[in-house]
Amino acid sequence: MKRVSTAWWNTSGRVTFSPLIDSMQPSRILVVRLGAMGDVIHALPAVTTLKRNFPAALITWVIDPKWAPLLDDNPHISEVAVFNRRNWSSIRSTWSLLRRHRFDTAIDLQGLMKSGLLTAVSGAATRIGFHRSQAREPLASWFYNRPVRTAAAHVVDQNLELAAAAGANRISREFPVPRGAAEGDLPKGPFVLACPMQGGNRNSGRWNITLRLPGHYGRMAARWS
């Protein structure tokens, strides 16, 4: 029988976790969050929290190559494992890495079948992920032996609850994003930066509404010109 864990916030700002976790601290931690940009950024505090609580632990993050630059120069990550599920060579390389590292703890911050499978392939004795009622793909929870039913409303705090399930109770809400590099010259005078496609995806109503209202952006530009 799988053990279902529950986490909640107490008045001291720490996460209270029940049932009690194992007293042995993890030494090799696998984190799986393949994408996308916002979701990877939302996962950063959980990984920072893991490193703050277990400074001697080696942390490997498995991520899609498209989003790997978001982890550049991250001081809390020991290794970035790029996983391209459309490339057979990348699949074999990732499989070999997961088996070779002998992780003791694996945390799936994505809740998909593919991410859950990666935690299982790692062979980690402790495999943490969202409870089936909260995972994006409920069957992914079959890959975990420590599913967590989170209590927080925001995904950042939900990810922190998964970190708490590994024993990381001292929370650190840091977002160590890379500085990045300029890709062009900005106008020298006052300007407005707009991103019309922000806030939706191809399967959401927000994306479709954006595409149907291009005239609104034209009128907005006219008002500012």
- Domain co-membership, 212 together with 124: no
Assign residue 33 the CATH number of its domain: 3.40.50.2000
The answer, yes or no, to whether residue 1 has pLDDT greater than 50, is no
Mean pLDDT along residues 42-57: 98
**The predicted structure's pLDDT at residue 11:** 37
SS (H, E, C) 95-127: HHHHHHHCCCEEEECCCCHHHHHHHHHCCCCEE
Q: pLDDT tens digits for 73-104?
A: 999 999 999 999 999 999 999 999 999 999 99
Mean residue pLDDT of the chain comes to 85
In this prediction the pTM is 0.78
| 163 vs 191: which has the higher pLDDT | 163
**The predicted structure's pLDDT at residue 13:** 46
Q: pLDDT tens digits for 104-151?
A: 999 999 999 999 999 999 999 999 999 999 999 999 999 999 999 999
Across 20-24, 36-40, 200-204, least confident range: 200-204
> Can you give the residue range of the structural domain that contains 116?
5-165
The pLDDT confidence band at residue 17, using thresholds 50, 70 and 90, is very low
Would residue 177 count as lying in a domain?
Answer: no
**The predicted structure's pLDDT at residue 199:** 54
- Domain co-membership, 108 together with 151: yes
Would residue 178 count as lying in a domain?
Answer: no
| Residue 224, C-beta contacts closer than 8 angstroms, at least 6 positions apart | 192
- Domain count along the chain: 2
